[in-house]
């Protein structure tokens, strides 16, 4: 209708190829999760295998607070990746996000590349579409995207920084908030608004909350740089006007703090790589943590077994960090004793009184 299917599919292929070659992370921005120092508990009086990782998000029970965030769709390779990662989500009782379903809007036949329900009958599966696409198609069509794959929730991704750095990307971001508000009324499953690596601020979270949104994936800076991806894809890595944006965004830990205390359920993602990263994000108030790039890299290195081992070891690390802070459940990390260092401490103080 409005988009060209071959451009969409080619872009998704390019993204996977670039990722296969090397991780494309922030160059100097960190997540700031390293600023969260837990106070070690030398007397935990519990056992590692008794640590409870379960939680609930968007009314769904999770056996562990982890979400494989949206990666791909639209191609035969994407279909295999989606089915493999969804199968792992089912095994671990965690969440799985499909990549953008834009290709499905352009060609119904590509639905099969997103169809994972069969291999993940009970897992929390999220559909995915861009905010800009949500303004261009009737609300009923966007709702149908989720229906057709039996999704538990629909993610609307916001990625203005990536689009602007993408030569063929969108240039107008008008009407997205209205489209989101309509979707919160029309969808009969939860709506999750997500970024893709530049974070969500308190101001944006408040506008989304006013529009009826209750779930965010803040996808902050410090992990995959989508701006970096687009710079490499368009061979502009020697262009200082472009590379100056490589590290643009709100660091993940700062975005979790920004969006806390607003009555929203928050997924912390962007640069979550280890169990300790996960524990730190949960300590700052996130309900779930999410990751894309390390899961995909583990899959490329070792297939289903590789991705399964990666998630298993991240959850082992989370369990260990929970025990070592004296907690019995990862849900208790929100109140675990900690020391917050600069620059995260300064960030939070400054943003609490922005005009002081
Ligand atoms: C290869 C690849 C493709 C992605 N495609 C999508 C997408 O289609 N839709 C989306 O919302 N996010 C997409 N993302 C963004 C991730 O969901 C995530 O927000 C971002 O990569 C930051 O997390 P990370 O540092 O763990 O990779 C993609 C990520 C990767 C690595």
pLDDT tens per residue, range 45-103: 999 999 999 999 999 999 999 999 999 999 999 999 999 999 999 999 999 999 999 99
Q: How far apart are CA 291 and CA 144, in angstroms?
A: 26
Pocket probe mutation, ligand 1, options 18, 68, 71, 159, max atoms within 8 Å of Cβ = 71
% of the chain at pLDDT higher than 70: 98
245, 52 in Cβ contact below 8 A? Answer: no
Q: What is the pLDDT of residue 355?
A: 52
User: pLDDT tens, 156-166?
Assistant: 999 999 999 99
Please report the DSSP string for 314-337 in residue order.
Answer: HHHHHHHHHHHTT-SBGGGGGGS-
Architecture label for domain 5-352: Alpha-Beta Barrel (3.20)
pLDDT tens digits, 192-201: 999 999 999 9
Over residues 298-324, the pLDDT tens digits come to: 999 999 999 999 999 999 999 999 999
Average pLDDT, the chain: 96
Best mutation site among 293, 295, 311 for ligand 1 pocket (most ligand atoms within 8 Å of CB): 293
Is the backbone peptide bond immediately before 343 cis, with ω within 30 degrees of 0?
yes
The answer to whether the beta carbons of residues 183 and 146 sit under 8 Å apart is no
pLDDT at 1: 43
Instruction: For residue 197, give the DSSP letter.
Output: S
CA dist 327 → 238, 241, 332 (Å): 48, 47, 6
Task: Say whether pLDDT at 352 is over 90.
Answer: no
The model's pLDDT over 122-157, given as tens digits with 9 standing for 90+, comes to 999 999 999 999 999 999 999 999 999 999 999 999
> 106: helix, coil or strand?
helix
Show the ligand 1 pocket: residues with CB < 6 angstroms: 15-16, 19, 69-72, 99-100, 128, 155, 157, 194, 196-197, 219, 223-224, 269-272, 291-293, 296
Distances 39 to 89, 249, 280, 332, 336 between C-alpha atoms, Å: 31, 29, 12, 14, 8
Return d(Cα 333, Cα 284) in angstroms, integer.
8
Strand, coil or helix: what is 113?
Answer: helix
Q: 108-112: long-range contacts (C-beta < 8 A, 24 or more apart)?
A: 110/9, 110/73, 110/74, 111/148, 111/149, 112/79
pLDDT at 334: 98
- Give first-to-last CA distance, the chain, whole Å: 50
- Give the number of other CB atoms < 10 A from CB of residue 66: 29
Chain centroid to CA 118: how far? 23
**Is this prediction's pTM over 0.95?**
yes
Structure tokens given for 246: 């490589």
Query: What pLDDT, on the 0 to 100 scale, is given for residue 354?
Result: 56
Give the integer Cα–Cα distance in Å for 315 and 317.
5
pLDDT bucket at 22, cuts 50 / 70 / 90: confident
Q: Whose CA is nearest to atom 28 of ligand 1?
A: 71
pLDDT at 9 over 90: no
Q: Is the pLDDT of residue 356 over 90?
A: no
């Amino acid at each position: 209708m409005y988009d060209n299917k071959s451009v969409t599919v080619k872009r998704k292929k390019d993204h996977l190829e670039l990722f296969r070659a090397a991780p494309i992370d922030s160059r100097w921005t960190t997540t700031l999760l390293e600023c969260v120092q837990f106070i070690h508990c030398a007397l935990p009086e519990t056992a590692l295998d008794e640590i409870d990782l379960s939680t609930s998000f968007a009314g769904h029970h999770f056996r562990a607070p982890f979400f494989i965030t949206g990666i791909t769709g639209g191609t035969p390779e994407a279909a295999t990746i989606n089915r493999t990662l969804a199968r792992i989500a089912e095994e671990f009782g965690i969440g799985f996000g499909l990549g953008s379903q834009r290709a499905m809007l352009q060609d119904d036949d590509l639905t099969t590349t997103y169809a994972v329900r069969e291999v993940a009958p009970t897992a929390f599966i999220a559909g995915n579409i861009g905010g800009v696409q949500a303004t261009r198609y009737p609300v009923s069509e966007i709702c149908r995207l989720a229906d057709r794959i039996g999704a538990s929730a629909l993610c609307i991704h916001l990625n203005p920084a990536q689009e602007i750095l993408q030569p063929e990307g969108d240039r107008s971001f008008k009407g997205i908030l209205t489209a989101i508000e309509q979707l919160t009324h029309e969808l009969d499953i939860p709506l999750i608004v997500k970024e893709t690596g530049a974070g969500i601020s308190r101001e944006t979270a408040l506008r989304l909350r006013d529009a009826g949104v209750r779930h965010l994936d803040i996808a902050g800076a410090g992990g995959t740089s989508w701006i970096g991806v687009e710079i490499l894809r368009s061979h502009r890595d020697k262009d200082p006007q472009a590379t100056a944006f490589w590290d643009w965004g709100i660091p993940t830990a700062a975005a979790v703090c920004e969006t806390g205390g607003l009555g929203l359920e928050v997924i912390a993602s962007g640069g979550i790589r280890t169990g300790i990263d996960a524990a730190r994000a949960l300590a700052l108030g996130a309900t779930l943590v999410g990751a894309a790039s390390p899961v995909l890299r583990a899959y490329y290195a070792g297939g289903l077994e590789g991705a399964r081992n990666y998630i298993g070891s991240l959850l082992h690390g989370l369990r260990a960090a929970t025990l070592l802070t004296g907690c019995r459940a990862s849900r208790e990390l929100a109140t675990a004793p900690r020391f917050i260092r600069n620059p995260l401490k300064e960030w939070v103080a400054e943003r609490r009184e922005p005009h002081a």
